[in-house]
A = this chain, B = another copy of it.
Amino acid sequence: MPHRAPGAPGHKANYLSGKVIKYYRPRGSAEIRHLIDNGFQAFNAGRLSEACQIYTEKMLTPENDTTVGLTIAGALTPAGLGGCIIEMMERGLVDFVISTGANLYHDLHYALNFSLHRGSPFLDDVELYEEGIIRIYDVLFPATVLLETDSYIRDFLVRSKIEGAMSTSEFHYRLGLDLLERNPGCEEYSVVAQAARAGVPIYTSSPGDSSIGMNIAYHELMNGGTLMIDPNKDVNEVCAIILAAKKNGCIILGGGSPKNFYLQGQPTLWEVYGIPKGGNDYFIQFTTDQVVWGGLSGATPAEAVSWGKVNPGGLPDTVVTYVDSTIGFPLFCEYAVGATHNRRPRKELVHKRDAMISDLLRQAKAAGDEKPITSEPPEVDRHR
Bitwise, A200-229 to B at CB < 8 A (1) or not (0) is: 000001111111011111111110000011
Q: Is A148 an interface residue (CB 8 A)?
A: yes
B291 touching A6 by the CB < 8 A rule?
A: no
A325's nearest neighbour on chain B, judged by CB, is: B43
- Partner-binding segment picked from A59-67, A108-116, A191-199, A342-350: A108-116
Residue pairs across A and B with Cβ atoms less than 8 A apart, 30 shown, are A21-B41, A24-B39, A40-B326, A42-B138, A42-B294, A45-B326, A48-B327, A79-B294, A114-B381, A114-B383, A115-B381, A115-B382, A134-B307, A135-B306, A143-B271, A189-B384, A209-B261, A211-B264, A213-B232, A214-B264, A214-B271, A217-B235, A217-B239, A217-B268, A228-B230, A231-B231, A256-B297, A290-B292, A323-B324, A327-B327
Bitwise, A1-28 to B at CB < 8 A (1) or not (0) is: 1111111000000001001111010110
A302 to chain B, nearest CB (A): 5
A137's partner among B80, B299, B383 (CB-CB below 8 A) is B299
- With A21-B42, A80-B39 as known contacts, state yes or no: A267 contacts B121, CB within 8 Å: no
A204 to chain B, nearest CB (A): 9
Residues of chain B contacted by A328 (CB below 8 angstroms): 327
Q: Is A257 an interface residue (CB 8 A)?
A: yes
Sorting the interface of chain A by its residue count into under 10, 10 to 19, 20 to 34 or 35 or more gives 35 or more
Residues of chain B contacted by A24 (CB below 8 angstroms): 35, 38-39, 41
